[in-house]
Chain A
Amino acid sequence: EPEVTQTPSHQVTQMGQEVILRCVPISNHLYFYWYRQILGQKVEFLVSFYNNEISEKSEIFDDQFSVERPDGSNFTLKIRSTKLEDSAMYFCASSPLAGAGDTQYFGPGTRLTVL
């Protein structure tokens, strides 16, 4: 069964450094998402992406964040200058359609630790 993959599984970085989190969505999906979960808190929406453009972004997704689909398979989240509060589990998701009832398929997550 096709699945969303994410790399790395765990990333440790120093405050102020740039990180790139990588995701490979399911191949025939058109809609892509990033969510994050700070330890002990809710899973929060960051951004949605369709047709090489951001469709919607949350207040969390400020100028330090960017997303890109550099080729036909990868979907990346870049944090330009990491802060301590960026430490979280980051989940990528994809879906074939974008209706409210359509299922989003999640990857296993990347745990980002900012020191």
Chain B
Amino acid sequence: GNSVTQMEGPVTLSEEAFLTINCTYTATGYPSLFWYVQYPGEGLQLLLKATKADDKGSNKGFEATYRKETTSFHLEKGSVQVSDSAVYFCALSALTGANSKLTFGKGITLSVRP
């Protein structure tokens, strides 16, 4: 079946540091890949997505490239801010029957210090 593996956390960085959060996946067919973010006290929000191999998703300075050869979708940001402190979830979606469902990684907590 489909699965998503994220690097273990939590991650603590200083403001303006470079961020990489690793995500790898196992899937049959041609999944779409997503990063969702959960800020304290809020629901899951889509951060970015990529729907086919070599696509790059980007939003709010975050980027991730869909790498089919390494089955990865690592999240990067060049300079993190305190406001980026949140839980980050990697997920994949594959069409199954009438609709699709998301398969999530475990999530990783990012804390950014001023």
Which size bracket describes the interface of B in this complex? 20 to 34
Select from chain B the residue with minimum beta-carbon distance to A46: B101
Report A11 CB to chain B, min CB distance, Å.
16
Interface size on A, residues (CB 8 A): 28
Report B23 CB to chain A, min CB distance, Å.
13
Interface residue SS majority, chain B: strand
Q: A104: CB under 8 A from chain B?
A: yes
Chain A residues with Cβ under 8 A from B99's Cβ? 31, 48, 50, 55-56, 98
Q: A100-B32, A101-B93 are in contact. List 10 more A-B contacts (CB 8 A).
A: A41-B106, A42-B107, A43-B91, A45-B102, A48-B99, A56-B96, A56-B97, A93-B44, A103-B49, A108-B42
Residues on B close to A: CB < 8 A? Answer: 30-32, 34, 36, 41-46, 49, 51, 89, 91, 93-107
